[in-house]
Structure 1
């Protein structure tokens, strides 16, 4: 150490050495020691001149050795300083490389930010490094990574923007350095962090695309470092932490965007799955009341709200609530619904307590506690049939994607309602039509019975052996056959019957008129062949003619078997067969004279009215008559 109280004496003592080399080395060592004490080089020069004068030596040589030692020491100090500076720069660059590598190697934001705080702590040689991420919606900074503080605080501790030193730096958008937090009025101690041992604090905002004007929308978070002792953070330290903040800003934004996109994708999949399931449920019923309650119930689930109402547009441009699901049953939003329908657009009320557009909305908010409302029209094509209104106790902001989902749901519901209403209207019209058809067939049957009675009265005036009596009897039988068909149709509202039912009705009517001495057994077999009213009338006449033909010719002696069969061929052609076992029966004693009119009528009806074919053949054991036609090609 230099004896600052007597530096001249120290130099004189050196000058007493007669060895010139040793004397020069000692003088240079003295100059180096003088520099290490940050002493004034001019004073060193002055002292050297005075000592050389006293020792009767050359002052220039003495001063030169002193200053050479001083300059060498200063240069060595500068070299060490630059070496240390370069080493710090290398460490900083290596730290930035690790930070960038961690940010680019994974989209797991928690893992990459933990690497950042570990690296910053090592490079800056600080006791604590922490990172807080900013929640734009809640305006809160949440601790996500730390080194040096309580790890249990991660994900738990939150700082409101503008509160405390960390929140202040986030709001200010600039670094905030505190020499001693105990003297800083803005500082707020968080017990869970266990940070009471740390005195100095540097907080740097993490801003995406930083500019001269700070916007809170670009804030990603805040990175902080702390030391145990009071510390004046250098500009170099602040600049380095700003560089780190700039590097991690983009990686945080990318990771958050990835997480949000992934979350939105999964949410969209869940929404589409729910919408598909709801659409299938809506299509499963055609009862309007059931459908309305199903729509409001599913709307509460798909929109994640507390209540949903469905409104119908009335002819007088007013609205009527048709169904509701959720707590509360009183309404008060009719004026808002009318505007939704009139303007063909959705309306959102984020805060019903302060919204003054509709008095009823404020009333329902104070009466039932609903904070947010959302209403949208229900469309089928270009026509609006009603509206849905959603209620939420908690404050809600409806995102664009959710508006699209709810709009699709509302339109699907509107289509389902229209389908159900059309179905109900069709059912009502069908009931009316069926009732009218039944009444028409009933009246036709009554009129035919009246005509039959008149003809029977006329026939009784004629001799039974005359052709006129036979003609009248044949006409009565045909009228009975037609009346039998209308009797069947009067009990069926759809204007349909079957070949088997026609055959049974004709067989019953004929069986009642047969004498007991000529028993006849009717066998009615085959598939259930459905025919409309027109075909039924034609078949009734044809079957009636064929049965009476069998009775008059093959079975008049002792009776027998008459079979009436019906079946479908190739799902298109209907076949009706009338057969009797007359060929194995004895010949009648008195055969009725045939005019051929019956077969002529049959061929005409089958060919012209049914558009089919008629075949008649006599076999060893059976006489067969076959009618084939296509029922689906006949008009009603």
Structure 2
């Protein structure tokens, strides 16, 4: 390492070093880091190096080299840091193994969990496997994993072992129980006489437990959740057990980070496909029906919906004019007209307001026929985006339907607004082209003077 300055700097300062061009990198001028000449001799022009951290201190670095001067993307940096984090966890786990060979079974279970982590991007499946493994490893009667909602200051159960599955989805204030104490302390806590906690978790499922450990799941300085195990036998957990649970909590945190990165990348790709389809509409001479159907497909793809419908006013009623993957029964209802012109949907369309219905069947802003037929068709949530139509002053709606109940985020609403703008552009472009064709046809048909 003494001959590779960027690697030395990353390990020394405990931060990621990003060098697009080693010939324009004053931070590498310190000769104690090693000479840049070594990098040149290896044919290196650009360097990305992330520290490998074990037990809160740098123990090495993971470095990528390029033979051309080129800027590193944020994705490159996130990927290298994630791999370095996995390497740090691996080093820590190997040290635990060296310290006590008798706990080989524990390390084997950790390895299996890490393999699940590296081979599975679905967060729910990874966390389920982790709670199963940690319960078996620590001979616990039950284990659970809660994610932390910082805005609402609550913990929400996402995976269990040894509990009834109905516990999944349960929420409680993040200040309560051993989990709340672990979050405040920022470290795993071992609790004897668990039932005597003054402010325990408010759920009957936790009655009868005598001993427990709770370990916070952390990424950098952010608490992401809590991993816990419990026993009803009265057999106490040791500090070594707490160390093992902390390692599993690190794996769970990394799984959550990887899943978030994967979800973000998948969402970006989906959004790009949707807007590419709208851009394609802008570049083609399509019929009005084909244009509206392409817009419906773009909206469904961009927002991750199962189906979409484009509604425009005909007389005083919003009527289906284009769709994508829409169930026949629901399409028939929309063709008959959604509602009179003074209803909530029509007002939302004319006033340019988005309607978000996380639970479609219970949303009384929507016509009863809509809700009943949507439920029968398997739709559980809806996001209606207003669209200004050049042919209709009142404007229309693009309704995107989802097969699961869904909480719409600020990002979803912002994306919906961008989608409305892009859709308006596509419709305006088509209208201008249609007018131009009509004018050209009229000019050709007029007699020569």
Mapped to 2, the partners of 1:245 and 1:148 lie a distance apart of 10
Is the strand fraction higher in 1 or 2?
Answer: 2
Aligned to 2:375: 366
Aligned to 1:319: 318
Q: How does 1:150-299 map to 2 (within 5 A)?
A: 164=162, 172-174=177-179, 175-176=190-191, 203-207=212-216, 218-222=224-228, 232-233=235-236, 237-238=238-239, 253=253, 256-257=256-257, 260-261=260-261, 263-265=263-265, 267-269=267-269, 271-272=271-272, 274-299=274-299
Mapped to 1, the partners of 2:164 and 2:214 lie a distance apart of 8
Is the 1:286–1:423 contact (alpha carbons within 8 Å) kept by the matching residues of 2?
Answer: no
Mapped to 2, the partners of 1:112 and 1:224 lie a distance apart of 28
Mapped to 2, the partners of 1:186 and 1:276 lie a distance apart of 50
- Give the counterpart of 1:401 among 380, 398, 411: 411
Give deviations 1:497-530, integer Å, cap 9, x for gaps. Answer: xxxxxxxxxxxxxxxxxxxxxxxxxxxxxxxxxx
SS of equivalent to 1:369: coil
Is the 1:206–1:223 contact (alpha carbons within 8 Å) kept by the matching residues of 2?
Answer: no
Is the 1:300–1:306 contact (alpha carbons within 8 Å) kept by the matching residues of 2?
Answer: yes
SS of equivalent to 1:299: helix
Change (3 A) 1:419 1:166: closer
SS of equivalent to 2:353: coil
The Cα of 1:279 is off from its aligned counterpart by 0.9
Aligned to 1:353: 361
SS of equivalent to 1:330: helix
Is the 1:139–1:160 contact (alpha carbons within 8 Å) kept by the matching residues of 2?
Answer: no
Aligned to 1:73: none
Change (3 A) 1:420 1:290: same
Q: How high is the TM-score relative to the length of structure 2? A: 0.51
Mapped to 2, the partners of 1:231 and 1:120 lie a distance apart of 26
Change (3 A) 1:148 1:257: closer
Is the 1:372–1:391 contact (alpha carbons within 8 Å) kept by the matching residues of 2?
Answer: yes
Query: Which structure ranks higher in relative contact order (CA pairs < 8 Å, sequence separation ≥ 6)?
Result: 2
Is the 2:122–2:259 contact (alpha carbons within 8 Å) kept by the matching residues of 1?
Answer: no
Is the 1:100–1:247 contact (alpha carbons within 8 Å) kept by the matching residues of 2?
Answer: no
Aligned to 2:129: 143
SS of equivalent to 1:356: coil
- Give the counterpart of 2:332 among 327, 330, 333: 330
* Larger-Rg structure: 1
Mapped to 2, the partners of 1:128 and 1:224 lie a distance apart of 17
SS of equivalent to 2:386: strand
Aligned to 1:425: 435
Change (3 A) 1:367 1:273: closer
Mapped to 1, the partners of 2:351 and 2:420 lie a distance apart of 16
Change (3 A) 1:418 1:141: same
Mapped to 2, the partners of 1:396 and 1:245 lie a distance apart of 32
The Cα of 1:264 is off from its aligned counterpart by 1.6
Give deviations 1:460-509, integer Å, cap 9, x for gaps. Answer: xxxxxxxxxxxxxxxxxxxxxxxxxx5xxxxxxxxxxxxxxxxxxxxxxx
SS of equivalent to 2:415: helix
SS of equivalent to 2:405: coil
| Structure 1 gap segments, 5+ residues each | 1-96, 151-156, 180-184, 188-199, 210-216, 442-485, 487-636
The Cα of 1:116 is off from its aligned counterpart by 5.4
| Structure 2 gap segments, 5+ residues each | 1-52, 62-80, 138-143, 146-156, 180-189, 195-203
How many residues align structurally?
303
Mapped to 1, the partners of 2:210 and 2:89 lie a distance apart of 19
Is the 1:296–1:309 contact (alpha carbons within 8 Å) kept by the matching residues of 2?
Answer: yes
Is the helix fraction higher in 1 or 2?
Answer: 1
Give deviations 1:264-290, integer Å, cap 9, x for gaps. Answer: 246425532552344124421242222
Mapped to 2, the partners of 1:375 and 1:104 lie a distance apart of 52
Aligned to 1:339: 347
The Cα of 1:163 is off from its aligned counterpart by 6.3
Mapped to 2, the partners of 1:241 and 1:351 lie a distance apart of 43
Backbone CA RMSD of aligned residues: 5.1
Is the 2:297–2:308 contact (alpha carbons within 8 Å) kept by the matching residues of 1?
Answer: yes
